Amino acid sequence: MQIAEAAAALRAGGLVILPTETVYGLAADAANPQAVAAVYEAKGRPSFNPLIAHVGDLAAARRIARFDARAERLAQAFWPGPLTLVLPVGDTDAVCDLARAGLDTVAVRMPAHPLARRLLAAFGGAVVAPSANRSGRPSPTTYADAVEETGDKAAAALDGGPCAVGLESTVVALLDAPRLLRPGAVTRSEIEALIGPLAEAEADAKRSPGRLARHYAPKSPVRLEAEAPQPGEAYLAFGPAAAGEQVWNLSPSGDLREVAANLFAYLRAADRSAPTAIAVAPIPHEGLGEAINDRLKRAAGFVG
């Protein structure tokens, strides 16, 4: 019932708050330039920063993008799931120019969340879905946070509970040498095991426009690699640590998956306590830690 209403809203050019396994998205019909324009406007997002096209099956993905052997291998291994592939564009009507920011490439992903899959099946076409936050704010990982961010702009909203992964998808460009544009839940080593070494994202703004945008910034300053909080600071702890009024423990047992799932919600909670700063404990850099530390650096304002 809710799914049918949400699919009808998409068909009418409306925006839909969409749960995925990574973060909540603000979805629109990828083929409808007016609907896509409304997404940029709702987020306050610059239109030179292209969107990800979400599809329900491989056949749809192969229509909108041109797959090579590397893309096939990664899609086989990780879809549906938290991996986005940037490929040469196929059908340019299925994902309109504005959604691609005029590029001749397209970002494609097949999400795993059951509600996202049901909506994509009911709608039938590709759906753009940037994270449902307003531009420059942490991605929402709960229904309440998504509704708080952009709910007033949405014609329908689906409650899929808290997001299991909690960080945005890994973005890999397969245009020339494979490049890691955004680390995420599918780790560098999992990808390299299948297609060989990943080059770093280039500084070239045309190829990696997302790296220019300011991201994931809470209102309070963020202090990283903090062994302990100072008076007035909120603290995001990791591992066994003393509890306190302004302490949120990302994972008492030291589990990086738990850190990823809690990160954005705890950044928001800490921010709401209006501290002098949010101090964050050191988090290991290996595996999923690469994506977690990437988001923390952006929250602290160290990256573009």
Chain positions contacting Mg ion, by CB under 5 A:
131
Closest by Cα among 108, 93, 100 to 47: 100
| Nearer to ligand TXA among residue 86 and residue 261 (C-beta) | 86
Answer for the pair 12, 123: CB distance below 8 angstroms, yes or no: no
| From ligand TXA, Mg ion, none, interface partner of 137 (C-beta below 5 to 8 A by class) | none
Answer for the pair 61, 71: CB distance below 8 angstroms, yes or no: no
Does 169 help bind ligand TXA (rule: CB under 6 A)? yes
From start to end of the chain, where are the E strands?
16-18, 25-29, 52-54, 83-88, 105-109, 127-128, 156-157, 170-173, 179-182, 199-200, 222-223, 234-237, 247-249, 278-280
Does 158 help bind ligand TXA (rule: CB under 6 A)? no
The burial class, CB within 10 Å (0-12 / 13-18 / 19+), for 193 is exposed
| Nearer to Mg ion among residue 131 and residue 293 (C-beta) | 131
In angstroms, rounded to a whole number, what is the distance separating the alpha carbons of residues 265 and 20? 15
Report the nearest approach of Mg ion to the CB of residue 259 (Å): 19
Which residue of 130, 140, 160, 229 would you call a contact of ligand TXA, by CB under 6 A? 130
Q: Which of residues 66-105 bind ligand TXA (CB under 6 A)?
A: 84, 86, 100, 103, 105
Report the nearest approach of ligand TXA to the CB of residue 88 (Å): 10
175's tokens: 């245009």
Exposed e or buried b for every residue in 177-189, given b needs 16+ CB within 10 A? ebbbbbbbbbbbe
How many residues of this chain interact with ligand TXA, rule: CB under 6 A? 28
167's tokens: 């960080």
Report the nearest approach of ligand TXA to the CB of residue 45 (Å): 8
Rounded to 10 degrees, the C-alpha dihedral 49/50/54/60 comes to -170
Which residue of 14, 16, 20, 218 would you call a contact of ligand TXA, by CB under 6 A? 20
Does 174 help bind ligand TXA (rule: CB under 6 A)? no
Q: Which of residues 42-61 bind ligand TXA (CB under 6 A)?
A: 49-52
In angstroms, rounded to a whole number, what is the distance separating the alpha carbons of residues 35 and 53? 13
| Nearer to ligand TXA among residue 208 and residue 251 (C-beta) | 208
| Nearer to Mg ion among residue 22 and residue 220 (C-beta) | 22
Does 7 help bind ligand TXA (rule: CB under 6 A)? no
Interface residues toward ligand TXA, by CB under 6 A: 20, 22-23, 25, 49-52, 84, 86, 100, 103, 105-107, 109, 111, 129-131, 168-169, 171, 181-182, 208-210
